[in-house]
Amino acid sequence: MEPFTRFTAAATPMDRDNIDTDQIIPGRYLMMPRDERYKTYCFHDLRLNDDGNEVETFILNKPAFRDAQIIVAADNFGCGSSREGAVFTLVDAGFRSVIASSFGDIFYNNSFNNGLLPVVLPEEAVSALRAALHDQPGAQITVDLETQTVSGPGNLNFSFKIDPHRRHRLLNGLDAVGYTMTFEEQIDAFEQRYAAETAIKYDQP
């Protein structure tokens, strides 16, 4: 997994609450393998009409936001389905960070497994960042995981909190399974103790 330390790129605002994972990747693409096509599924049905032409009003189709690699959203971004495809397609389309006032819980978890940094900021902060991006289309934002800060256009600077375990994993691009296997002795010991104590047997009928 690609480590995340500090990232500066053009950012796009997405003003709606509750952008669910069905919007990020429509269900019909979930059966597809993770290949070079995966990036084309990103926000597919918001981006393109039924006839395959671009939806002019969709923000990522506007010239200033086409190259955005950071999203500043509102409340509950990535709610809904657990599909990790939503994170795969964002990453494959070049996004490295999403800033929102809250996230769907599973999407948030999935992000850390793919080098995508979800940043939670207060509603006033994300709202100010979105307003600044509307005022200065194409403006850049810097997300710094080491200092846990976000800096945007118009001298907007915010600090964010993040779970230290997840921060460490992202900073170093660490793989979760490899890390967990360093606890294998404890897992073995737990399993033995648990099997002896538990009232429920796992034997098949």
User: What residue ranges bind another protein (CB under 8 A)?
Assistant: 15-18, 20, 22-23, 26-28, 30-31, 34, 45, 50, 74-76, 79-85, 87, 102-107, 109-110, 113-114, 163-168, 176-177, 180-181, 183, 186-187, 190-191, 194, 199-205
* 15 versus 140: smaller Cβ distance to another protein: 15
* 157 versus 193: smaller Cβ distance to another protein: 193
* 80 versus 153: smaller Cβ distance to another protein: 80
Give me the least distance between CB of 19 and another protein, in Å please: 10
70-72/156-159 β-pairing: unpaired
Tokens standing for residue 39: 């990036």
Instruction: Give the strands of the sheet with 6-13, arranged side by side.
Output: 117-120, 97-100, 70-72, 6-13, 140-144, 149-152, 156-159
Cβ count near 158 (within 10 Å): 18
CA dihedral 39, 42, 45, 46 (to 10 degrees): -130
Pick from 185, 184, 151, 172: nearest CA to 70 = 151
Give me the least distance between CB of 8 and another protein, in Å please: 26
C-alpha dist (Å) from residue 115 to 110, 138, 142, 199, 204: 9, 23, 16, 40, 39
Give me the least distance between CB of 83 and another protein, in Å please: 7
Give me the least distance between CB of 184 and another protein, in Å please: 8
Q: Are 43 and 24 in contact (CB under 8 A)?
A: yes
* 67 versus 165: smaller Cβ distance to another protein: 165
Give me the least distance between CB of 53 and another protein, in Å please: 14
* 100 versus 141: smaller Cβ distance to another protein: 100
